[in-house]
Amino acid sequence: MAAAAVDFLLLNLKQLLMYNADLISGVKQQVVCLHDELSMLKAFLKDSTEKGSEYEIVKQLVRQIRDVVYAAEDAIDTFVVHAAMQRARSTFSKVIHGIDYPTKLRNVAEDIQNIRQKVDDIYKKPTFGFGVAQRGEPSTRGLPERRAPVVEEENVVGFDMEAKTLVDLLNGGKEELDVVSVIGMGGLGKTTLAKKVFTDPAIEFEFYIRAWIYVSQEYDRKEVFISILGSLDKLTDEMYRWSDDKLADELRGHLQTGRYLIVMDDVWTREAWDDLKMAFPKNNNRSRILLTSRNTEVAIHANPDRNSPPHLLRFLNEDESWELLEKKVFRRERCPSELVDLGKQIAKECGGLPLAIVVIAGLLMKKDKTCDWWEKVAKSVNSYVARDPKQCMDILALSYKHLPYHLKACFLYFGVFPEDYEIPVWKLIQLWVAEGFIQQVGEIRLEDTAEEQLEDLVDRNLVLVEKRRSNGGIKTCRVHDMLRDLCLREAEEENFLHEIKGILQVPSLSLSPALNKYRRLCIHSRVLDHISTKPSGPHVRSFLCFASESRELRREHTSFIHDAFKLLRVFDIKSISLPLFPSKIKDLFHLRYVSLSGSFEVLPASISELWNLQTIIIETSSRNLKVEADIWKMLQLRHLFTSASSRLRGPPSKARKGGKDPLVRRNLQTLSTISPESCTADILARAPNLRKLGIRGNIATLMEDKGGSSMFDNLTKLDQLVTLKLLNDTFPLPPSRGSLPQLYKFPPNLKKLTLADTLLDWGHMSTLGILPKLEVLKLKDNAFKGEWWKLLDGGFRLLRVLQIGKTDLVCWEASAHHFPRLQRLILKHCESLEAVPSGLGEVSALQSIELYHATSTAVASAKQIQQKQGLAINRLKLVIYPPEL
């Protein structure tokens, strides 16, 4: 984590030197020297983090470096704020308020010099040399002994079908050596399942040669081979003196002639597999290796040719969780009736994680089994589990400690979100980017790198996927409650973030001294109560609020953020409604991400002074938003989201014609939603890398032919655009019937198109059908009008998702060749539609049909389609709402 802090500060300093060197002119040389000195520390921190050094002396050194880095960050950021405010003042104001400016400059210079001295002191410490020399080879003295996990073979719950699946995989299949893998997060029961399979009579009968090896994070190659030879009764005293290569040859010879099963439990890296696989011959005796891992990548690497994916171990359901808890607590007896409901509640709170259930069962066994005691536990299961870290949290923490340093901050950030919160990935990624966790790699977009890092965390079974997009990307995700508690525990230790619970009981206007050290604060409940206390924190860089329902903040509290948290980078209070736009937000010079809600009608010009701002999210009850801010001055702006139709200011007329235009914003990727009048050639030409565009207003204005062209033609040049929304809003007038432009006028790489209230004739679908890369088509309420839709041959070759909202459609004729790749069909309020086309039952890719408020005949036709695929391996999922009685 300290390495991540240094990384961010180095990036911050680099940007200051590149973009606003004038702000730090008085201390520029000091900043350059500090940058160079911290760069030298970075390699040590990265290496010590990735090696997972257990030396307390090295850990203490890392903490000292982190504190120095934070102090440097505070000093420089504070000075930049003062310098920016001084530059923004009028000449007269500078004279009045700038008297103390030279003093502040000297103070910051002294602070930086003191920090540089502290860095130099760290270099001179004997402990630094010790850490550099020894960090890769920690002594085993004082470290916990490496032991295989203890597996109880009794009271195994929920694994019967899982075990049968694995037994069938091991006994069936090809003649050649095959690797079958079980993956899942720590504590899910991979070892327990593997042991159940290993001792299954069907396995014992088929595999005469069997051996079990526990690999873990730290293993010894020679020790592994000796262990296997010992379990096969082939070990001699002389072999202890052999090299690991000779032992591997000996083991391979014994395994070559027979059918063998080797269980490799808890394999952490691809390198571990590559290191050990040489001992396992690829004979044609239908031999098998059963591998367990927390990392999907390891499983795929061990058998890249396998057609089926690794077996992902599921969580226990509520019934299984209660069954396991009851068996662990009461053994062969039944739970008393008065404790059953409380017991089920406790089991449910464990989130289907067997390890947590076993730990809480051990706690319940130690005390008298009373309703009062069980009720107390039920109210705070996670806290009681955390009381026994050796049994649960430390096991889960192994996954965190094994992460490369660039993923540690990304994982800990999940502690920001409330428990059981379904996290939108677009929001998570933009927060990661704003926090500085994502580093630029060549020309790859930061957002693409962030998605790769999220997928990495998913592959390591630290993050759960809730929903996926049509292209396979992750749409929403979450973490298990126990892992979230791990995030909070590790984050508190690193001063990384703090979750505020209850009402702040402090007499002053600031947070308690203990909270002042944290860089991030998040509030999940009683948000208005907290804000009314006017909390503050001089070191806080992120302030995030989450509330289950939106409530309005009182006017006198709207300016608390500027007064309380002057160094903010992330400010997200969209869950509460502001009575007016916070005017002082312009003074938060370091702000990178802002998310607000209220009844705003104007985005003020002062926002454009925030040169660091990357993401703006404005939720407003107003239908229109006047954007007075000059977004062309905002060098870092990447995403502008507004719920209202936002009218943008065009670039100034002085923009350079010919050559390189200084007003082109290549970082700008999202404009949603803007007015049709904002889609001018001047505006869109200066956002060449736009990927998402939402347009709300009178769409006829966009399509209107003026001298042989229309404003829609300006979209043609957006060759990076993949998502387009056209929301026809003519309030208070009713929408009029619309039309679509010709195919060649659409952006060439469009993949997702959303239409609403456009009242198009179904004949226009022929144009949409031949969009060459269209994968998702959402026709929301009144997008199309007409009772009959018959598809023409050709078209929709890549479409994966089709959604149709409120419409008067009665008859729809289509067949499988119209939608060869359709995976998901959603029909909402199609209350006149008589039937879902039966031909869709022939679409082999179709995975689900969702009907909301459909006719009985449409429901019946969908059921017939499902029955057609009844014998298929991947049975069609049918969702009907409201559910049938």
Backbone angles phi, psi at 266, to 5 degrees: 65, 60
Reported as a single tens digit per residue, the pLDDT across 538-594 is 889 999 998 776 678 877 777 777 777 889 999 999 988 888 898 888 889 899 999
The residue whose two tokens read 């730990």 is: 359
Range list of β-strands (E), 266-348: 288-293, 311-312
Specify the pLDDT at position 322. 95
Specify the pLDDT at position 286. 92
Specify the pLDDT at position 244. 92
Whether pLDDT at 403 is above 80: yes
Specify the pLDDT at position 154. 55
Backbone angles phi, psi at 798, to 5 degrees: -110, 0
Rounded to an integer, what distance in angstroms lies between the CA atom of residue 770 and that of residue 787? 22
Q: At a CB cut-off of 8 Å and minimum separation 6, what does 264 contact?
A: 213, 215, 273, 276, 289, 290, 291, 292
Concatenating the DSSP letter of every residue in 49-72 gives HHHT---HHHHHHHHHHHHHHHHH
Q: Which of 696, 797, 785, 770 is nearest to 738 (CA)?
A: 785
Specify the pLDDT at position 96. 46
Give me the count of residues in the chain.
885
Specify the pLDDT at position 367. 83
**Average pLDDT of the residues of the chain:** 85
The residue whose two tokens read 């032991």 is: 147
Kindly state the tokens that stand for 308: 């089926």
Specify the pLDDT at position 12. 66
Q: Which residues pair with 570 in a beta bridge?
A: 542, 593
Reported as a single tens digit per residue, the pLDDT across 799-841 is 999 999 999 999 999 999 999 999 999 999 999 999 999 999 8
Specify the pLDDT at position 55. 61
> Parallel, antiparallel, or unpaired for β 464-468 and 474-478?
antiparallel
Whether pLDDT at 514 is above 80: no
Whether pLDDT at 252 is above 70: yes
Which of 81-95, 789-803, 835-849 has the least mean pLDDT? 81-95
For residues 126-140, give the mean pLDDT: 48
Reported as a single tens digit per residue, the pLDDT across 351-373 is 999 999 999 998 898 888 899 99
Indicate the pLDDT class of residue 674, thresholds 50, 70 and 90.
very high
Specify the pLDDT at position 203. 94
For residue 389, which amino acid is it? P
Percent of the chain, pLDDT > 90?
55
Whether pLDDT at 508 is above 60: no
Indicate the pLDDT class of residue 136, thresholds 50, 70 and 90.
very low
For residues 9-37, give the mean pLDDT: 69
Which of 10-19, 78-87, 872-881 has the least mean pLDDT? 10-19
Whether pLDDT at 684 is above 50: yes
Reported as a single tens digit per residue, the pLDDT across 584-629 is 888 898 999 999 999 999 999 999 989 899 999 999 999 999 999 9
Backbone angles phi, psi at 502, to 5 degrees: 70, -175
Rounded to an integer, what distance in angstroms lies between the CA atom of residue 163 and that of residue 158? 9
Whether pLDDT at 19 is above 70: no
Residues 381, 363 contacting (CB under 8 angstroms)? no
For residues 672-691, give the mean pLDDT: 94
Reported as a single tens digit per residue, the pLDDT across 640-667 is 999 999 999 888 765 545 556 778 889 9
Residues 41, 6 contacting (CB under 8 angstroms)? yes
| pLDDT top residue among 562 and 451 | 451
Specify the pLDDT at position 134. 46
Specify the pLDDT at position 142. 37
**Most confident region among 214-223, 791-800, 827-836, 871-880 by mean pLDDT:** 827-836
Whether pLDDT at 9 is above 80: no
Indicate the pLDDT class of residue 133, thresholds 50, 70 and 90.
very low
Rounded to an integer, what distance in angstroms lies between the CA atom of residue 737 and that of residue 761? 8
For residues 479-501, give the mean pLDDT: 89
Question: Burial of 192 by CB count in 10 Å (0-12 exposed, 13-18 middle, 19+ buried)?
Answer: buried
Specify the pLDDT at position 138. 42
**Most confident region among 486-495, 528-537, 872-881 by mean pLDDT:** 486-495
Whether pLDDT at 433 is above 70: yes
Indicate the pLDDT class of residue 179, thresholds 50, 70 and 90.
very high
Reported as a single tens digit per residue, the pLDDT across 228-250 is 999 888 899 999 999 999 999 99
Q: What is the pTM (predicted TM-score) of this model?
A: 0.88
Indicate the pLDDT class of residue 706, thresholds 50, 70 and 90.
confident
Indicate the pLDDT class of residue 471, thresholds 50, 70 and 90.
confident
For residues 849-861, give the mean pLDDT: 95
| pLDDT top residue among 144 and 68 | 68
| pLDDT top residue among 760 and 283 | 760
Reported as a single tens digit per residue, the pLDDT across 292-348 is 999 999 999 999 887 788 999 999 999 999 999 999 999 888 999 999 999 999 999
Specify the pLDDT at position 92. 44
Rounded to an integer, what distance in angstroms lies between the CA atom of residue 415 and that of residue 648? 36
The dihedral built from the CA positions of residue 277, 279, 285 and 286, taken in this order, carries a sign that is: negative
